[in-house]
Amino acid sequence: MKAIQLRRPGNVALVDVPVPTPQPDQLLIRTGASVICTSDLNDIRENPFHIPLPVVLGHEGAGTVAAVGRDVRGFAPGDRVATHPVHPCRACRRCQAGMGHLCLNMGHFGLNMPGTFADYYVVRQDRARVVPPDVPFELAALAEPVCVCLQALAQARLDPSGTLLILGDGPFGVLTATLATASGLNHVVLAGHHDYRLAFARTANTVNVKGNPDVLAALRSATLATEYDAAILAVGNPAAVGQALQLVRAKGRVVIFSAVLQPMPLDLFTVHVRELEIVGACNDQDRLDEAVRLLSHPSLALGSLVTHRFTATHYDQALRTAADAHDRAMKVALLWQEQTPS
């Protein structure tokens, strides 16, 4: 089968590899669509998670069940499914403590399991959900991004009257803003640098801070409260962490949702005197059912976030678009041809 492989940092190729064999508890998925994530681009550039290479890239994917392992129940070939890349072991102390998303022996697509940028991939049965027929694969492939955005919101621990600032207008920032307002939050401000991207957040207040000499003032005046109960960092820019710390109220929370890859100085004096909380958000704690429900929610129109589609042979262009086209692209999907396993 065809697969997009990361061979070493900066070196990606479309290669022929064997179709993976499903374990007894796994489904073999014939990929319908896989979607490029910022973390794939980080992996390609500098491999921050030290993934053993070569690896088939990709963790966002959806497709049709092609075969099932002998212990699989509730799925049959032909089912259309969304899949989740994180496979908790269910046995380690973190899994036992209800933190499967922080599992010590986690299986993960594109890391220690083959990724979704391939004609076929395997998923453990508990990490797949059948999706309604009207949900296209490229939308179903957004199940995991929706999950992690829900987790970032949960980490912000806001009540419905809470005021939320989201820094970063990439797909995660826009998706989080959309889900935040859909969850009933009335005061959501999304800040970014691209009018094109901000326009996708139809239900939040948006502020373009590009070139603004006083970002803090602009974001303070964007909320009636002048302070935010929480800020979610959806951009890997270290300066934004400092801004978030200045903009949340006393006892407020800053959620580090994007990967800030370099160590950075942090104003801990502000954290100290205003009793701030800094919390992380990366994987999600079992939000797949909720995410799949939201995918088919017509008023959210989450499918509109996928703005570009490429076939696998044009993977190079697809990756470049996802990495560079911030003023004309959001989520970029790879579409895979249907074929029989070979």
Site for Zn ion, rule CB under 5 A: 37, 88-89, 92, 95, 103
CA max distance for the chain: 63
Q: Taking Cα atoms as reference points, which of 42, 41, 29 lies closest to residue 1?
A: 29
CA distance 142 to 226: 33
The least CB distance from residue 27 to Zn ion, in Å, is 20
The least CB distance from residue 89 to Zn ion, in Å, is 4
Nearer to Zn ion, 32 or 88 (CB): 88
Q: Which residue has the tokens 């980080």?
A: 42
The least CB distance from residue 171 to Zn ion, in Å, is 9
Nearer to Zn ion, 61 or 88 (CB): 88
Q: Which helix (H) or strand (E) holds 305?
A: none
**Rounded to 5°, angle at Cα 54 from 49 and 56:** 85
The least CB distance from residue 36 to Zn ion, in Å, is 9
DSSP 3-state of 177: helix
Nearer to Zn ion, 83 or 243 (CB): 83
CA distance 246 to 286: 32
Nearer to Zn ion, 17 or 102 (CB): 102
CA distance 43 to 101: 20
- SS3 letters for 173-210? HHHHHHHHHHCCCCEEEEEECCHHHHCCCCCCEEEECC
The least CB distance from residue 167 to Zn ion, in Å, is 18
The least CB distance from residue 44 to Zn ion, in Å, is 13
Burial class for 126, CB neighbours closer than 10 Å (0-12, 13-18, 19+): middle
Which amino acid is it at 208?
N
Q: Which residue has the tokens 């995410």?
A: 291
* Structure-token pair, residue 171: 């797909």
Nearer to Zn ion, 89 or 154 (CB): 89
Nearer to Zn ion, 3 or 95 (CB): 95
CB-facing half-sphere around the CA of 123: CA atoms within 13 A: 28
The least CB distance from residue 40 to Zn ion, in Å, is 7
DSSP 3-state of 192: strand
Nearer to Zn ion, 181 or 283 (CB): 283
